[in-house]
Amino acid sequence: MLSLPSSSALTVNRTDPISHLVWRADRIGHAVTPGLPTGFKRLDAELPGGGWPPGMLTELITRDPGMGELRLLIPLLRQLTRSRRVVVMLAPPHMPYAPALADFGIDLDWLLMVQATHAADRLWAIEQTLRSSAFGAMLAWLPTDRTRPEHLRRLQLAASQARGPSFLLRGLPAQFESSPAPLRLLLQPQPAQHLAVTLLKRRGPVLAKPILIDLPQPEGAVRLREPNVASTAVHTSVRTSGHTPHRSEDQSAVLSTLRHAHRPPPSAVH
């Protein structure tokens, strides 16, 4: 006759090396790779991994472009560019004002701008950039009315190969849509140069109240101007304060990926 194991034999070994991989819904999830500090302690405390997660998508949702999303990322961009890591800004709706970015302490030589007017071109360029993995961070503005769930799934799969954080900046309607992005933040401007950050999705318990962020201040305000871009092509350029820097290996790798990857016709982008 078989005997039942004793209760001591059924006790879970809490020193098991895989026990830390078990996530409980009432706790903030553990990250295999630590996140990069956001520059805001209250926000770091609420994000799995203690910062911006690499190797996955992070969605930043705003009512309109220029509502504080870039200033939220200023500490990260400053850290990466000063460490000679390329930051790719893909299809921004307005061209960031270079002197103001420099005033924040960002090294403009390590910013790479990629313009893509058509939605199919933009989605293709984002996916190819993610697959290159040769960047410190990527910021991409998605076309709200042309982005489908299958596009996001492909981008999340491509982001898993990246070494740095990947941000998708989306319009307000996106907050009501499902998304494979593990981290989703709703950004709402507040008086006195503050930003309310609501965690719509994270690996952890629901956070009922938004986090109030005191946005970093430069010596001069960030001003935006409309880009002068041809309507049909994908354009790449480095925006600097008046000179063309020597391209790094990472910059060259991103450009090479965009130029030599097979570009499917718009109807083939799914």
Q: What is the pLDDT of residue 229?
A: 39
- Please name the residue that has the structure tokens 């933040």: 185
Domain edges within the chain: 30-260
- Which segments in the chain show pLDDT lower than 50? 7-12, 222-223, 226, 228-245, 265-270
Predicted confidence at residue 95, as pLDDT, reads 87
User: So what's the pLDDT on residue 28?
Assistant: 55
Query: Cα–Cα distance between 230 and 25 in angstroms, integer?
Result: 48
Q: Quickly list H helices, the chain.
A: 7-10, 41-44, 69-82, 98-103, 119-132, 149-159, 249-260
Which pLDDT tens digit goes with each residue over 121-158? 999 999 999 998 789 999 999 887 778 899 999 999 99
**What local confidence, expressed as pLDDT, does residue 241 receive?**
41
Q: How far apart are CA 130 and CA 57, in angstroms?
A: 10
Architecture of domain 30-260: 3-Layer(aba) Sandwich (3.40)
Q: What is the pTM of this model?
A: 0.75
Q: Where are the beta strands (DSSP E) in 142-182?
A: 166-171
Burial degree of 44 (CB within 10 A; 0-12, 13-18, 19+): middle
Q: What is the pLDDT of residue 67?
A: 87
